[in-house]
Amino acid sequence: MQNIRPSIADQDIVCDETAAPPTAMIVFGASGDLAKRKLFASLFQLSNRGLLSEHFYLLGAGRKKLSDQTFRQSAQQAIQERSDNLPSKEIEAFVSKLYYVSGDYGDISFYKNIKAKLIKLDKKYKIDSGDPASRESSHIFYLAVPPFLYITIAEQLGSVGLSCPRKPDSRQRPRLVVEKPFGRDLQSAADLNNKIHQCFDESQIYRIDHYLGKETVQNILMFRFANAIFEPVWNRNYIDHVQITIAESIGIEHRGSYYDKVGALRDMFQNHMLQMLALAAMEPPASFEADSIRDEKVKLLRSIRPFKLEPWSTSIVRGQYGPGVINGKEVAGYRSEPSVEPGSKTETFVAAKLFIDNWRWKDVPFYLRTGKRLVRKDTEVAIIFKKVPHSMFVSSGLAEAPRSGPPNVLVLQIQPEEGISLSFQAKRPGSKICMSTLNMDFNYRTVFGVDMPGAYQRLLLDCMVGDQTLFTRADDVKVTWQFLTPILQAWEGDDPAPYEYPAGSESFPAADRLIESDGRKWRKFSIIES
């Protein structure tokens, strides 16, 4: 195995990390699972890296009645569980800036109390103080709550004046962060957008997809557009097909009642899968500005060829895991999971073949698959290049190679080990003609010697500095739901139940036929080792 180690000369390092301005973050659902698992630890890490302003505070808001002290203790415990080898003194200093207010999400008095608390805390932390350093400061409202509460909270914030700039002509515009799923289909997403837009302008809305915060997903743009050697071959002339995989070994865990109403197409495909597809296939943007990049993503998504209505099995297949074995341990099938309907038709696996009808990608198939309870966790974008058009080695006795041998494959590994791998043919030592496939691997952890920062760190910081590049725009949401809603409608009608696959497998026959009918095969789940 060949390892790539980058030059660390000063002239080779180009960095741009903007620290956050004075910020007040208001987290609805602050006593819930998302805040404890992701938000508190991510904000603390930003603080520990010197990227949070000293004029920062967090106000938790939720139904659960908590004192400031109890809320801080809960947050401190959550941070300590996810932040190794850091002095408790630093954590204590951070959580001292956390506050809490309780109430009912539908009660206007709750939001009046929040507004009164913000006025008091803004003064204490010198936010919007008139100082030039605070001119970009903002209130950020983070909705870490179930989706059915989004409209209620947005409307109530508008009713008490918290969705508008705090002063006329102020650049200090409140921001609204919304977690996925953003709607359940085209109509519900349109309704949600219309309601929220009555209170917040599109420039204030940050629809968060944590996959876009992962380092290797972001690196797709750098890899493609900062290197002259790849973009010339990034097209139908050189690429045979593309495979995008998000495989999870876990099941639905404690989310049975939620997942049974959602399924893999809504939970993973509409957002994570299509966003990675857009980054891998979009045209070069004019600049690295948010709307330039998002314009190209939307153009690409609009170019995806609609699925054939009949027969479904030639372009998209769904499955549901049954009983099986994961890491030597027997696990239950999906229908036996807690809070799942015994006769549920909810899919836990989706495989699809897509085509992009534009000049660059005409007739190049994109094979996408995502599933739960598979043999291993693996997320990657694999670019499979065409084989050489003519083998000159046949006359030397290699009658079958490399014309029918493995093609060059470029793999962008997203998780669990972030990295890049390129396979190519080379001569092996020894006899005159002896070829084999070699891999050139780049592993982030090995090369840079640090743990990769969490996706939420990147996204929270971008929100605070007002960078919407990695956040989904309204027209992006509309296009993806336009594409997928016909499938959802067919599956919810008389369409047959999902194929069952055993937990611990990589795939199942119906999903294999989708790619094998084209003379290709799914890649084996792989890990770029440290």
pLDDT in tens, 387-415: 887 666 665 555 554 455 688 999 999 88
Separation of alpha carbons 301 and 281, rounded Å: 9
Label residue 1 by pLDDT band (50, 70, 90): very low
Would you say 29 and 144 are in contact if contact means Cβ atoms under 8 Å apart?
yes
Q: Across residues 184-190, what is the average pLDDT?
A: 94
CA dihedral 489, 490, 496, 498 (to 10 degrees): -60
Question: What pLDDT is recorded for position 171?
Answer: 54
Q: Please determine, for residue 460, whether its predicted confidence score (pLDDT) is greater than 60.
A: yes
Residue written as tokens 């989004």? 150
Q: Which of 139, 241, 272, 390 is catalytic?
A: 272
Residue 194, domain member (yes or no): no
In the structure encoding, which two tokens stand for residue 261, read together? 């109403």
Residue 194, token pair as written in the block: 């219309």
Same domain, 173 and 219: no
Share of the chain above pLDDT 90, in %: 62
pLDDT reading at 302 higher than 90? yes
Verify that 250 and 302 share a domain, yes or no. yes
222: CB partners within 8 A, 6+ apart: none
Q: Are residues 321 and 433 in the same domain?
A: yes
Output the pLDDT for position 431: 63
CATH number at residue 339: 3.30.360.10
Q: Say how far residue 350 (Cα) sits from the centre of its chain.
A: 17
- Per-residue pLDDT reduced to its tens digit, 518-528: 999 999 886 54
Whether the per-residue pLDDT at 9 is higher than 70: the answer is: no
- Give the pLDDT confidence score for residue 529 in this predicted structure: 42
- The DSSP result for 195-255, as a single string, is HHHTTS-GGGEEEE-GGGGSHHHHHHHHHHHS-TTTGGGSSTTTEEEEEEEEE-SS--TT-
- Compute CA distances 352 → 209, 270, 313, 428, 471, whole Å: 21, 12, 9, 38, 25
- Nearest CA-CA partner of 72 in 108, 37, 103, 31: 31
Residue in 384, 383, 386, 324 with CA at minimum distance from that of residue 349: 324
The DSSP result for 342-405, as a single string, is TT----SEEEEEEEB-STTTTT-EEEEEEESSBSS-EEEEEEEEPPPS--TTGGGT-SSTTTTS
In a domain, 463, yes or no: no
Q: Is the pLDDT of residue 447 over 90?
A: no
Residue 360 within a domain: yes
Backbone conformation region of residue 373, classed left if phi is above 0, alpha if psi is from -120 to 50, else beta: left
Residue 230: which residues within 8 A CB-CB, separation 6 or more? Answer: 223, 224
Mean pLDDT of 449-474: 87
237 & 147 share domain: no
Three-class SS string for 125-152?
CCCCCCCHHHCCCEEEEEECCCHHHHHH
**174 and 216 housed in the same domain:** no
* pLDDT, position 408: 92
Q: Which domain holds residue 229?
A: 212-451+473-516
Exposure string of 164-179, with b = 16+ CB inside 10 Å and e = fewer, is bebeeeeebbbbbbbb
pLDDT digit string, tens, across residues 480-511: 999 999 999 888 876 678 999 999 999 999 99
Reference 420, options 440, 406, 450; nearest CA is 440
Instruction: Tell me, yes or no, if 272 is annotated catalytic.
Output: yes
Sequential DSSP letters for 270-300: IIIIHHHHHHHHPPPPSSSSHHHHHHHHHHH
User: What is the distance between the alpha carbons of residues 23 and 122, in angstroms, rounded to a whole number?
Assistant: 9
DSSP strand pairing (56-62 vs 499-502): unpaired
Same domain, 243 and 151: no
One domain, residues 272 and 151: no
Q: Which of 68, 73, 78 is nearest to 92 (CA)?
A: 73
Q: Which of 161, 179, 197 is the last residue of a domain?
A: 179
Do 239 and 171 have their domain in common?
no
Is 223 found in the same domain as 81? no
Q: What is the CATH number of the domain that holds 72?
A: 3.40.50.720
Domain membership flag for residue 1: no
Q: Which of 136, 161, 179 is at the close of a domain? A: 179
Whole-angstrom CA distances from 62 to 65, 104, 106, 144, 153 are: 8, 7, 11, 10, 11
Percent of the chain with pLDDT over 70: 86
- Chain segment 272-291, per-residue pLDDT in tens: 999 999 999 999 999 888 89
Per the domain annotation, does 198 fall within a domain?
no
pLDDT digits (tens, 9 = 90+) for 323-360: 999 988 999 999 999 999 999 999 999 999 999 999 99
Residue 518: the pLDDT is 94
Model pLDDT for residues 205-255, shown as the tens digit of each residue: 999 988 888 877 878 888 899 889 999 999 999 999 999 999 999 999 888
- Residue 404 is assigned to a structural domain of this protein: yes
Q: Is the pLDDT of residue 100 over 70?
A: yes
Mean pLDDT score of the chain: 87
Q: What is the pLDDT of residue 27?
A: 97
Residues 6+ apart with CB under 8 A from 20: 46, 51, 52, 53, 56, 461, 464, 465
What pLDDT, on a 0 to 100 scale, did the predictor assign at position 522?
95
Number of domains observed in the structure of the chain: 2
